[in-house]
Amino acid sequence: IYIYIYIYIPLCHWSLIKSLLDAVDLTLDENTAHRNLILTNDNKTVTMGKEKKTYPDHPERFYYWKQVLCTRGLTGRCYWEVEWKGKVYIAVTYRGIRRKGESDNSILGKNEKSWSLLCSDESHSALHNNISTAVHGVPSHRVGVYLDSDAGTLSFFNIISDKVIHLHTFKTTFSEPVYPAFRVRTEPFNSSLTLCYIYHDRQNETRGLMRQRLASR
């Protein structure tokens, strides 16, 4: 006797499940952080500070723009999520982005080396090579990022409860590993961004949904 059990997964959730299989654990690189940026939570959170930190000089540190890279360069399929408040840029960049000077060549999304999503309560916009594209969508303070470097795509999603809403996809040819990177704007001064631990959060959400379904029977 064979018993077959079929599990139905809605198509709208399959992309999320697939992306979770490619989830990566990221850490902010203190050696790249501008001195006004405060790194906490085991270098998972970056916050704009009014006073400069005493970070030592380093050739990879951003000296003018309030930006920071992650320690890990990514290739292939990778997924991560961030929570933000205030006004931030969520980006990826080649390692060779300029670190010194006030020119746009150092700003995430304003050169050929980086791709960025600007997030604020007022609006979202996608930026690459100093070209800005308005992004329309329901505001959310949690954003998912999915990189498929072999396919040449970088996608951003709003994460709202159990919904995943596509915001924007860059299509390009990645010639080298890219580093997740972030810019925190000076105003408002409470702007911050946190790298999320996806597995823990998703497991708790799944357990909660299961409890709700069992309780309704």
Give the burial class of 215: count Cβ atoms within 10 A of its Cβ; 0-12 exposed, 13-18 middle, 19 or more buried: exposed
pLDDT at 184: 95
The answer to whether the CB of 82 falls within 8 A of the CB of 64 is no
pLDDT at 20: 60
Query: Is pLDDT at 6 greater than 60 in this prediction?
Result: no
The first and second tokens of residue 56, run together, are 């030592």
Residues in CB range of 21: below 8 A, 6 or more apart: none
Mean of the per-residue pLDDT values for the chain? 84
42: left (phi over 0), alpha (psi -120 to 50) or beta: left
- Rounded distance between C-alpha atoms, residue 144 and residue 105, angstroms: 26
Strand partners, 130: none
Query: Is pLDDT at 191 greater than 60 in this prediction?
Result: yes
The one-character DSSP state at 32 is: G
- pTM as predicted: 0.83
> How many C-beta atoms surround the C-beta of residue 49 within 10 A?
15
| AA letter at 133 | T
The CATH number that domain 22-215 falls under is 2.60.120.920
User: Over the stretch 134-171, which tens digit does the pLDDT of each residue have?
Assistant: 998 777 899 999 999 999 999 999 988 777 889 999 99
Give me the residue spans of the domains in the chain.
Answer: 22-215
The answer to whether the CB of 174 falls within 8 A of the CB of 152 is yes
Up-side HSE of residue 78: CA atoms within 13 Å toward CB? 19
User: Over the stretch 103-138, which tens digit does the pLDDT of each residue have?
Assistant: 888 999 999 999 999 999 988 999 999 999 999 877
Strand partners, 87: 120
Nearest to 41 by CA among 93, 80, 95, 82: 82
Task: Please compute Rg for the chain using Cα positions.
Answer: 19
